[in-house]
Amino acid sequence: MTLDNMTQGEIKTRAASVEFKSVTKRYGTEVTAVDDVSLHVEAGELVTLLGPSGCGKTTTLRMIAGLEMATEGKILIGGSDVTQLPATDRDVSMVFQSYALFPHMTVLENVCYGLRASGKKKKQSVELAEHGLDLVGLAGYGSRLPSELSGGQQQRVAVARALVLEPQVLLFDEPLSNLDAKLRRQVREDIRDIQQRLSLTVVYVTHDQEEALAVSDRIIVMKNAMIAQVGSPRELYEQPASEFVADFIGEANIVEAQISAVHEGLATVHVGDVTLNLDSRGLAAGSAKLAVRPNRIFIEPHHPGSADALVGSVLKATYVGDRIEYKVATDLGALFCTSEATDRQVVEGSEVAVRFDDVGPVLLPHSA
């Protein structure tokens, strides 16, 4: 699918906002899948629900779709209360992880399905469906069966099928998980393109943080049925609100630190022998935790008396192509860092000086 053969067609957008007000979903009396979650998705925005397996992100998505009913709380779409409304009656479409293409119908019949179900005339449905297929670059594939398409093509049929209904909200449930790595990047860009072109409201579920960072306007990180943090990709990456978020979005070394003083929002932080000046993020003097991304840690040959550096020894060095990953033992524990200087590999067992970048390390607020 390329942008060239995309015709804007008659597919319009009726994007609407989504709002959760203290929504809880329980199965039976024991299991709480979603616990008192409130969130807001602006119209025309792509928001990703991100989290590890079992965090409640899919349940949240399914509650937007109406496939699960909230046990408590309210769900609003476009400002009206849809809490009690079943899936059929919600103006929401969904692209499933397995695509859920009807295997006994042709591609065109699949795309027409929702149009026919909502009472459109056959002729009009076919026209719209063809536009939809055109939009995803599958014009001319209408008479095939889903089983005759590749995985990526099936995925695009699923998108077209959802798009032609001009839904208020479009939902994606791990849409890339059944594609191979190469295709993923392509498809995710396509999805983002269409979303921005048609200014759709999209809620997107994934457990892959890289995917989330790449496509989202905003990301909602979930953990244990609750929201851990909400923010733009950059905010989440650079200013994680908790150890969990810091570690889940990209990798992070969490190290113990001491704040000796805070002045005008700037904290003086001691990590071993190293002293850093960082945004205090509301912390007062005392012990704190510091998150440092692996690429923000530098190692260099050890010279006695290096200031602002930790002393460590390389436990392990792994060459992974575009960079080298080091595991370094220090007084603060093992640190994980990467170096793009692949030409100069530090041999295992050698003594090194470990430094932190000036920007990058971030203090973690005392979290719940």
Measure the CA dihedral 79/16/76/177, to 10°.
-170
Instruction: Verify binding: residue 132, another protein, rule CB under 8 A.
Output: no
Strand partners, 317: 326
* String marking each residue 13-52 x if it binds another protein according to CB under 8 A: --------------------------------------x-
* Residue 57 within binding range of another protein, rule CB under 8 A: yes
Asked whether position 118 contacts another protein by CB under 8 A, the answer is: yes
Q: Which is nearer to another protein, 146 or 240 (CB)?
A: 146
Does residue 117 belong to the site contacting another protein (CB under 8 A)? yes
Each residue 169-198 as x (binds another protein by CB under 8 A) or -, in order, gives --x-xx------------------------
93 near another protein, judged by CB under 8 A = yes
Q: Which residue in 83, 268, 306, 345 binds another protein (CB under 8 A)? A: 83
Q: How many residues bind another protein (CB under 8 A)?
A: 51
Q: In this chain, which of 9, 21, 24, 67 binds another protein, going by CB under 8 A?
A: 67
From the CB of 80, what's the least distance to another protein, in Å? 5
Q: Give the nearest distance from C-beta 113 to another protein in angstroms.
A: 6
Calpha distance 77→70 (Å, rounded): 14
Strand stretches in the chain, DSSP E: 18-27, 31-41, 46-50, 72-77, 80-81, 92-95, 169-173, 202-206, 218-223, 226-231, 253-263, 266-271, 274-279, 286-292, 297-301, 310-319, 324-330, 333-339, 351-356, 362-364
Shortest Cβ distance from residue 148 to another protein (Å)?
A: 8
Rg (CA), the chain: 25
Residue 326 CB, shortest distance to another protein, in Å, is 33
CA distances from 98 to 64, 101, 157, 203 (A): 19, 8, 12, 17
Under a CB-based contact definition with an 8 Å cutoff, are residues 44 and 199 in contact?
Answer: yes
Choice between 111 and 198, CB closer to another protein = 111
Among candidates 267, 248, 247, which has minimal Cα distance to 258?
A: 267
89 binds another protein (CB under 8 A): yes
* The token pair that represents 188 in the structure block: 């995710």
- Nearest distance, CB of residue 87 and another protein, angstroms: 4
Would you say 80 and 60 are in contact if contact means Cβ atoms under 8 Å apart? Answer: no
Query: Are 162 and 95 spatial neighbours (Cβ–Cβ below 8 Å)?
Result: yes
What are the backbone dihedrals phi and psi of residue 148, each rounded to the nearest 5 degrees, phi first?
Answer: -95, 5
- Cα separation, 273 vs 295, in Å, equals 20
Element (H, E) at 172: strand 169-173
3-state SS class at 280: coil
Per-residue contact flags (x/-) with another protein for residues 216 to 255, judged by CB under 8 A? ----------------------------------------
Query: CB of 105: closest distance to another protein in angstroms?
Result: 8
Do the beta carbons of residue 60 and residue 15 sit within 8 Å? no
> Which of 76, 254 has the CB closer to another protein?
76
Is 88 one of the binding residues for another protein (CB under 8 A)? yes
Q: Which member of 9, 44, 54, 73 binds another protein (CB under 8 A)?
A: 54
Binding site for another protein (CB under 8 A): 51, 53-59, 61, 65-67, 69, 80-90, 92-94, 96-98, 100-104, 113-114, 117-118, 145-147, 158, 161-162, 165, 171, 173-174, 205, 207
